[in-house]
Amino acid sequence: MTPLCQKSTIPICSCHLKTAIMHPGCNKTFRQNMKSTRLFGLFFLVTLVFGHGTDRKHYIVYMGQHSHPSSESVVTANHELLASLLESYNGAKEASIHHYTKSFRGFSAMLTPDQATRLSENEDVVSVFESKMNQLHTTKSWKFLGVDSIPQYNKLPMDIKSDVIVGVVDTGVWPESESFNDYGLGPVPMKFKGECVVGQNFTQSNCNKKIIGARYYSKAFEAIRGPLENFNRTFFRSVRDTDGHGTHTASTIAGSKVSNVSFYGLASGTATGGVPSARLSIYKACWFKDCEEADILAAIDDAIHDGVDVISLSLGPIPPQPIYFEDVFSIGSFHAFEKGIVVCASGGNSIFPSTVGNVAPWILTVAASTIDRELSSYVVLGNHKQLKGFSVNTTPDQGKQYRLIFGTHAAAFGIPSRNASFCKRNTLDSNLIKGKIVACTLETLFDDKNEKAITIKEGGGAGMILVDDPLGKDVLFQSALPSVSIGQEEAQELQSYMNTFKNSTARIYQTVTHVGIKPSPVMAIFSSKGPNIITPDIIKPDITAPGVNILAAWSPFATDGTAGNSLDYNMISGTSMSCPHVAAVSALLKSVHPNWTPAMIKSSIMTTATITDNTGDLIKNEDSTEATPFDYGSGHIDPIAAVNPGLIYDFNTSDLINLLCSSGATVSQLKNLTTTPVYCKNPPTASYNFNYPSIGVANLTGNLSVYRTVTYIGEGPAVYHSILEITGVKASVYPNVIRFQKSGEKMTYRIDFEAYKSSNGSFEFGSLTWMNNLHRVRSPIAVNVVQI
């Protein structure tokens, strides 16, 4: 008996998505190893980088709002503050990297830990924290979401639909892509105050009426990692994208319609963004897949100033999530919220509970799930049994069966059989694999699948079957010879066949596209999960959207990450891909309802989401277990319903300040946060009473009442009846019927919870839905009974 599934002790993660994944069938030891090492993966890899020959590090000094008359005066004030510490004005200018002058005040600088501590004690400073290096979270999806069926949007005049601007902070853009043509668009909106910054291979002509703004940021990256030229990698010192990730996310949001698009001839059709009439302002803050936080904050500062309506962030903090005052995503997005800008951010690809990032309640946090399309590759064994797998095989097969061999049985001289099972370079005997299909395993999820295929091809092999690949379905790959990834059940079938028949054979078929897959959506295995570790009473993520095998525009200077091919359109996976879907829906809502606040847009998206798949059953995880609000938040996004939600849960900056008070923020932290005086209530309002569209109680001890206020935004009188569903606790809602006479009226209701058994550390889930003949306004509930 030859084991196909090897134990791995090194779980890994990366961007959009060569993620660390736990297959449901993997052994308990593997799972425990992953938890104990706390290698939650995927969001980011961080290197602490010290100043040359000193103990200096790169710190961000955040100072909140400011009343200075100009950016120049802010820079001068920053230098003076830093000079008082360093005792040299010139030294202050040399130490500083970025200045945040437009939407809020702050700077980044190379400082010693002692200097950073002394700065944090200054009364004008909100927080001082080390700037970290982060990584990115990395067609049919819009049809799956039904965007073309929204009459309110389709009836809008083009000048209104094209007035919405989305800022994309990412790796830049490839402006020549057909997805960014500006056919049919009018002049750049007058409200836009941004720039088209020229640079290497990027001129003013590369901006148009689609890409109306372009900026790039590398100061912080180069201060830590050295000049870009030292990396021996292709890049342009401009907003031009050589990674592909930024081009992909931007085109998903607002790409123009392009016909006859496919991925190696698969998944063919018309590629389009969710709001092809919207404008894009591009902020390149990531280089070689790494994003320095100080650069990111500079990009958000500019985006707010430039007048964008929505900001899309397919990147986020390293798990565990830092506190809000020490997290650039929370800081930047808070000031965006103040200015009426919706911020959508990916929740991350870290797999495990409590790893969801970008959890600030003013951010719309996005999980990832599938659409109803699969790219399948089939293996037919010599006994005529068919195994379903996943990959991208576009070359016609030879129409014949090939002998099968385990990598463990083809070890090169002196190589242990276990090492040979991974099919890495110099581990296989070419005499044993020649003319055969080799069955290989993963050592870690960082394994380069194409390298395995190249190794087999160079040894004369005919194909590769990658067994028990937990990422195979969600992250497709195309390799140097016919290859396929199969799951655990199929791996067991293959193993049984190969152990039974000495001269076992197989044939790998071309990949085919299947649409109408049921069930869909299914939660992506890599998608980061709640609960929220910073504010546990706020359920995170907020929403799920398509993030698996999404086809969108790409940079031809970027390879597809598998066979090294240049592509104009690529198919990739991650919460990086689901985030721009939600950003596009936010832009669509802003078009239809230009006066809606970020909280109203968030509420409409969350309360109209669906928790059922296309079979009518509850949404599942990939292991067929029932998904919960910690997987999908309020559910799967429904753009059609979100346009007309009926009721909304609204909140403003003052409400957020009260929430921060209840979370333990100090007066000194809060006083510079806004331009108005800040006072905390005594006692502060409990975080479970923050007027959020979902309802969370992280510590229920006995009895507790939760309050929410809804605002009616319909027409004419309306009556809503409540449906309260939850197990594990007793609950009742009062009043259970609410009545409105006109739009804008508010009603407050109360939910009384009573514990009757301990949850033993796990949450009980349920929902409260307000319904009438036109609307269904649903809030998920998560309650943890810690003591009776």
Three-point CA angle 407, 408, 409, nearest 5°: 90
- Catalytic residue (one of 108, 131, 576, 722): 576
Residues 6+ apart with CB under 8 A from 498: 2, 404, 406, 439, 504
Residue-wise DSSP of 602-636 = HHHHHHT-B-B-TTSSBPEETTSPBP-HHHHTT-B
- Catalytic residue (one of 137, 245, 248, 775): 245
How long a stretch of residues is the chain?
788
- Catalytic residue (one of 170, 301, 469, 537): 170
Q: Which amino acid is at 323?
A: I
Containing H/E element for 706? Answer: strand 703-712
Containing H/E element for 369? Answer: strand 364-369
Rounded to whole angstroms, the Cα distance separating 754 from 724 reads 14
Rounded to whole angstroms, the Cα distance separating 594 from 153 reads 12
Residues 6+ apart with CB under 8 A from 147: 153, 274, 584, 585, 588, 639, 640
Query: How far from chain centre, in Å, is Cα 548?
Result: 11
Q: Tell me if residue 576 is catalytic.
A: yes
Residue-wise DSSP of 135-154 = EB---HHHHHHTGGG-HHHH
Rounded to whole angstroms, the Cα distance separating 768 from 722 reads 7
Peptide bond into 629 cis (omega under 30): no
CA distances from 130 to 53, 99, 127 (A): 18, 15, 10
Rounded to whole angstroms, the Cα distance separating 59 from 97 reads 10
Rounded to whole angstroms, the Cα distance separating 299 from 329 reads 11
- State the distance between the two ends of the chain, measured CA to CA, in whole angstroms: 52
Q: Tell me if residue 170 is catalytic.
A: yes
Tokens of 550: 């999404």
Among 714, 703, 729, 732, CA closest to 772:
714
Rounded to whole angstroms, the Cα distance separating 239 from 259 reads 26
Q: Which residues are catalytic?
A: 170, 245, 576
